[in-house]
């Protein structure tokens, strides 16, 4: 059974879907049945049942396709094994996921919530996948929080044109610390203490996805030890774009106040040219 060779740990709403959509096309990369496995975060965030249901649905869809396409018996047995709800989120289940990695390829997973793991869970993750390289996309803290809020509005079924409901939703989202993924001053030092930048940890600026996407992918390829690939088909495509939602003035001001410390941290932690590209 296997383990991932690299993990994109986040940040949420910082381009992880774009990176996944493109890297999944690289002939030397293999990815699991779904983009986000949530293996390390779901047990500690109270979302285990929700992600178990999501995985069951994804695997059922994959199984249906495998049967319809008369996939080899090994493929069907593999999907059936992963679909065992009692085994989900166990170490053997996680290893089983990566056991189908073909020879000559590297395996990766993309779960943005990993960037916010508590230190104890982070240590457990590193101990379990000690050789995995980590990729962390950085976006301006306020812009990332805005996008995260807009995604929550969409998922919550709130009408963006209803200012009263948006205001109430914003107060609840703020109280529940929906902006958590923007707390770079708290999270980045944790990763710095456990990974070596440039060797086992790669930071990428979100804005480069728009301004120099090919060069950004070359940087990732070099970090992962891959040959340059010229066939990426989604370089210029906006993936998982969040629709606009008017933000209450008080909410915008509060986000800026909350994120001031994290903006200052990024300015002190990274070179000026990197910070200029976080978008």
Q: In which band, very low, low, confident or very high, does the pLDDT at 1 lie, cut at 50, 70 and 90?
A: low
Indicate if the pLDDT at residue 57 is higher than 70. yes
pLDDT tens-digit readout, 22-45: 999 999 999 999 999 999 999 999
- Fold classified for 6-30+105-275: Rossmann fold (3.40.50)
pLDDT tens-digit readout, 110-129: 999 999 999 999 999 999 99
Report the pLDDT value the prediction gives residue 231, as an integer from 0 to 100: 95
Report the pLDDT value the prediction gives residue 129, as an integer from 0 to 100: 98
105-114, 213-222, 242-251: segment of lowest average pLDDT: 242-251
Sequence-separated (6 or more) residues with CB below 8 Å from residue 209: 15, 18, 19, 216, 279
- Contact present, 203 and 138 (Cβ < 8 Å): yes
What's the CA angle centered on 14, arms 17 and 95, to 5 degrees? 50
Please report, rounded to a whole number, the percentage of residues in the chain having pLDDT higher than 90: 91
SS3 of the chain: the string is CCCCCEEEEECCCCCHHHHHHHHCCCCCEECCCCCCCCCCCHHHHCCHHHHHHHHHHHHHHHHHHHHHCCCCHHHHHHHHHHCCCCCCCCHHHHHHHHCCCCCCCEEEEECHHHHHCCHHHHHHHHHHCCCCEEEEEECCHHHHHHHHHHHHHHHHCCCCCCHHHHHHHHHHHHHCCCCHHHCHHHHHHHHHCCCCECCCEEEEECCHHHHCHHHHHHHHHHHHCCCCCCCCCCCCCCCCCCCCCCCCHHHHHHHHHHHHHHHHHHHHHCCHHHHCCCC
Indicate if the pLDDT at residue 234 is higher than 90. no
- Domain boundaries along the sequence of the chain: 6-30+105-275
Report the pLDDT value the prediction gives residue 161, as an integer from 0 to 100: 87
């Amino acid at each position: 059974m296997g383990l991932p060779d690299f993990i994109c740990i986040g940040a949420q709403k910082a381009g992880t879907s774009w990176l996944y959509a493109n890297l999944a096309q690289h002939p030397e990369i293999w990815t699991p049945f779904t983009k986000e496995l949530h293996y390390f975060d779901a047990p500690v965030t109270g979302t285990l049942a929700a992600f178990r249901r999501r995985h069951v649905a994804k695997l059922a869809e994959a199984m249906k396709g495998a049967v319809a396409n008369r996939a080899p018996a090994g493929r069907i047995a593999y999907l059936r094994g992963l679909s065992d709800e009692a085994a989900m989120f166990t170490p053997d289940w996680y290893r089983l996921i990566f056991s189908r990695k073909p020879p000559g390829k590297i395996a990766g997973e993309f779960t943005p919530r990993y960037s916010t793991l508590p230190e104890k869970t982070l240590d457990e993750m590193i101990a379990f996948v000690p050789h995995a390289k980590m990729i962390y996309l950085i976006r301006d803290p306020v812009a990332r929080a805005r996008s995260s809020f807009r995604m929550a509005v969409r998922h919550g079924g709130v009408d963006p044109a209803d200012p009263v409901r948006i205001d109430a939703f914003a107060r609840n989202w703020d109280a529940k610390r929906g902006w958590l993924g923007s707390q770079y001053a708290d999270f980045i030092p944790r990763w710095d203490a456990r990974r070596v930048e440039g060797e086992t940890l790669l930071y990428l600026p979100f804005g480069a996805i728009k301004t120099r996407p090919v060069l950004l992918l070359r940087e990732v390829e070099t970090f992962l030890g891959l040959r340059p690939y010229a066939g990426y088909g989604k370089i210029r495509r906006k993936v998982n774009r969040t629709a606009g939602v008017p933000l209450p003035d008080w909410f915008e001001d509060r986000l800026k106040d909350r994120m001031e410390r994290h903006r200052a941290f990024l300015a002190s932690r990274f070179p000026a040219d990197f910070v200029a590209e976080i978008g």
